[in-house]
Amino acid sequence: MNTTAEKLEKIEKLDVGDNVIKKLGTPPNFLKAKAIPVFGNFHRVNIYINIDANNEERIIKRSSIAYSYLVEVDKSGNILDSKPEIVKLFE
């Protein structure tokens, strides 16, 4: 018998972040999409980008969350709903 924890673990292993990127497109300086299970079939998906901060002596590499979504997914990891709505911004 599958427990709720086992079901959540299966969803967590799915490429929820990849599905968000497919809908959004790939932003410039894209680093990664990280999906974090929140509750039930809801995930917080953060889209990270690289930022170069110029200093007189060196370039400092860092990352920043450019976009963040609360997404509801089905048992296959397909997006059912998101807050805010995911719209295609990039190719």
What tens digit of pLDDT does each residue of 26-53 get?
Answer: 999 999 999 999 999 999 999 999 987 6
Instruction: Give the total number of structural domains in the chain.
Output: 1
Question: In whole angstroms, what is the distance from residue 72 CA to residue 19 CA?
Answer: 12
- Identify the CA nearest to 8 among candidates 58, 59, 73: 73
Tell me which residue range forms the domain holding 10.
4-83
pLDDT, average across residues 48-65: 79
Q: How many CB atoms lie within 10 A of CB 46?
A: 17
Residue 36 lies in a domain: yes
Give the per-residue pLDDT at 15.
86
Residue 34: inside a domain: yes
Residue 14, in any domain of the structure = yes
Residue 89 lies in a domain: no
With respect to residue 91, please indicate whether it lies within any of the assigned structural domains.
no
Choice among 13-22, 23-32, 63-72, 81-90 with the minimum mean pLDDT: 13-22
